Amino acid sequence: MKNKVDNWEPTDEQNVGIISSVYEFIKGELSELQEVTECPDSFIYEFIGRIQHEWHSESCHSLTRNHKKNDN
């Protein structure tokens, strides 16, 4: 299973569909966060980094998500 995950690439349809939509949504939400809080770009950058860290393949969050997927 790990090899399958390591080699995963989105389809063209996924790239122009859900991936682009989520990307634009996240950018909009971050812009709103910055507008409301008047935080600097450096805060947004660090904030994204903390979220990104949760999706690292060896993080507790990622391991838990994958364990739940395998249980279903």
**CB under 8 Å to 53, separation ≥6 — which residues?**
59
Which pTM value belongs to this model? 0.71
Average pLDDT over residues 12-16: 97
% of the chain exceeding 70 in pLDDT: 85
* 39-60 pLDDT, tens digit each: 999 999 999 999 999 888 777 7
Mean pLDDT along residues 68-72 = 72
Task: Tell how many helices (H) and how many strands (E) occur in the chain.
Answer: 5, 0
* Segment 7-36 mean pLDDT: 97
